[in-house]
Amino acid sequence: VLDLMRSAGFVLAISLWVSLVMDTSRNIDLDTVEFVDLEAPAETFRIYNLLFNLVILITLFSMLQYTALDDRMALLTRSVFESMGDLVPFMLIFLMFVVTFGLVGHLLYGPVLVEWSTIGFSMITSIDLIMGNYMFVQLKESMGDEEYLSLIVGALYFYVYFFLMMLVVMNIVIAILMDGYASVKENLGSSVEEQIKYNVEAEGSVMLLAMRDQVHKV
């Protein structure tokens, strides 16, 4: 499926590139004083740029399927799939926390801060806060110097959310992934041992038959 999507996206991107190259409306006299409408070529270029980068991302993910050719290279993908049983329900709880704190931030700071002004911006800011890209100083801009109650509420909101998500939730996600990695590693070791045992037994049988043939000849 990914290979098909990549091929289709690549063909579309090339088609848009050819249309841009063949578009004569881009041939502008730099000395002209008349208005030149470049909205259509600009939109075409924007779509081409999005498609091209999407093809690169799909190519990256499609390459992961070839890691199955080697057991050690496949540890990453196998670990993720092994952890899916525990990871999916936990991610639902994770999203619930993000949405809840995002809505609270929107209600508290939406009227005064741009990054909390809409629900969409609030969700993005909530994720940025987890990643450490949003600081308490930015949140403090919505508070006056003597608004101690707002300062306390803001500090509680910021640091409770940060410590809850960063130190508890994210660490649990890492623990789930590490448990899946350990399970895959153990299964890989068992399969290797079984393969070695099988090869040794097969080689031993061949050697035993050869020795018997040699004895009969003598």
What does the domain layout of the chain look like in residue ranges?
Answer: 1-69, 70-218
CA 2 to chain centre: 16
| CB of 118 closer than 8 Å to CB of 106 | yes
pLDDT of residue 140: 82
- For each of the chain's 218 residues, which pLDDT tens digit applies? 677 888 888 888 888 888 888 877 667 766 666 776 777 878 888 888 888 888 888 888 777 777 666 666 677 777 777 777 878 888 888 888 899 999 999 998 888 888 898 999 999 999 888 888 888 888 888 776 677 888 888 889 888 888 888 777 778 888 888 888 787 777 766 554 555 454 545 554 555 555 555 555 55
Q: For CA atoms 110, 111, 113, 118, give the dihedral sign.
A: positive
pLDDT of residue 122: 92
pLDDT of residue 190: 55
Closest CA to 66 of 55, 77, 58: 77
What CATH number is given for 70-218 in this structure? 1.10.287
pLDDT of residue 208: 52
pLDDT of residue 30: 67
Closest CA to 165 of 142, 134, 139, 143: 134
